[in-house]
Amino acid sequence: MCVFPPHLAPDEQWIVNRNIFCIEKKHNPSRADLTDALFKNFAFRNMKHLNVANPTHFPIGLTSDTMAGTCSSLCEYFGYCKQSNWTKCQNMLLSQYNKAADFRMDADLRNILIEGYLNKFPVFVIGTRSVNSQAVGEIQTLILEQIASY
């Protein structure tokens, strides 16, 4: 796994398909939380990594109980979804979780997703309003599997 100083440690660490994910996770993030997540993500991505056998990724994971649906900045359909204002998910693996008619993210969540897309670092948003914690774990695993395949 990843070893970090205690004051700069990621919130979650997952291993998916031999890939290590050190996730900076925020639930119902404020603007200050998002700034903190971006700072830590930048710091993590600029540290030296000695584990060549297992690729290491540093996504930002955001959850919100005020919305339904999910999106990832590295999704191959991100540009289409952004253009359509996230009205219809084209990602077949995630579309089953995006059937809710109210997939509206606030501007700050959209902006951090776009930042990840433009700068090619993983950010994902999971709306928890209409799913249980088991489904959140399944969604996160699907997203991490997709990140690992890039």
Whether residue 81 is contained in a domain is answered as yes
**Which has the closest alpha carbon to 82: 54, 108, 114?**
114
Whether residue 126 is contained in a domain is answered as yes
* Domain carrying residue 49: 24-149
Whether residue 8 is contained in a domain is answered as no
Cβ neighbour number for residue 108 with a 10 Å cutoff: 15
Q: What is the mean pLDDT of residues 5-9?
A: 71
Whether residue 10 is contained in a domain is answered as no
DSSP 91: -
The total domain count for the chain is: 1
Phi-psi region of 85 (alpha: psi -120 to 50; beta: other; left: phi over 0): left
pLDDT at residue 101, as a whole number: 44
Tens digits of per-residue pLDDT, 129-149? 888 899 999 999 999 999 998
Q: What is the mean pLDDT of residues 8-23?
A: 89
Whether residue 106 is contained in a domain is answered as yes
pLDDT at residue 68, as a whole number: 81
Tens digits of per-residue pLDDT, 44-75? 887 766 556 778 899 999 999 888 888 899 99
Whether residue 30 is contained in a domain is answered as yes
- Tell me whether residue 8 is exposed, middle or buried, using C-beta atoms within 10 angstroms of its C-beta: 0 to 12, 13 to 18, 19 or more: exposed
Tens digits of per-residue pLDDT, 109-118? 889 999 999 9
Per the prediction, the chain carries an average pLDDT of: 85
Q: What is the mean pLDDT of residues 90-98?
A: 80
DSSP 11: S
